[in-house]
Amino acid sequence: MTKTEMDIRSVLGPAGGSIRPLAAASDLFARRMFEERMDSEDIFLTKDIYPIVAVWLQKKPGATGRAIERLAARCWDLGDRGRLSEIAGKNLREPPAPRDIMIYFAWYSHKGIPYFEAMKGKQPLLFLREASVFGKKVGEFPLKSCQKRSAE
């Protein structure tokens, strides 16, 4: 059993069906964020996560996506909300989106810290990359070209 599966089981308990779709999706999300250094906002579930997990599990992408979303909903509806809040790093008052649950498990399982704690700045920035526009670094543009022009 992987660390992610153990963390999901700590929320859902021993009962229930397979948690492999959610565990695989969270692990893939972690790989995209931490190894491939993609920003979480640039990761699309239907393009970057569900089809690959579907291949791993030998299922159709639509069925895999629904299974992942059902498992994420079950974490909130039937799981230990206190434990889920601990993994997230703050008291959750409303059901998080499936994407958010994957991010919580990815951070907690692969970095060992809750997501919101990492976002408070206790974790060094992971996604520093030079921003560019049309092949030029943002710092190369003169400030005047970026400022709003006055009405003439």
**Residues with Cβ within 8 Å of residue 151, at least 6 apart in sequence:** none
Q: Which pLDDT score, from 0 to 100, does residue 121 have? A: 65
What is the Cα–Cα distance from 99 to 145, expressed in whole angstroms?
A: 37
- Residue type at position 54: A
- Reading the chain (152 residues) residue by residue, the pLDDT tens digits are 899 999 999 999 986 778 999 999 999 999 999 999 998 899 999 999 999 999 999 999 999 999 999 999 999 999 999 999 999 999 999 999 999 999 999 999 999 999 998 888 654 444 444 444 444 444 443 444 444 444 44
Does the pTM surpass 0.85? The reply is no
**Residues with Cβ within 8 Å of residue 128, at least 6 apart in sequence:** none
Angle at 36 between CA 22 and CA 5, to 5 degrees: 25
What is the Cα–Cα distance from 82 to 106, expressed in whole angstroms?
A: 18
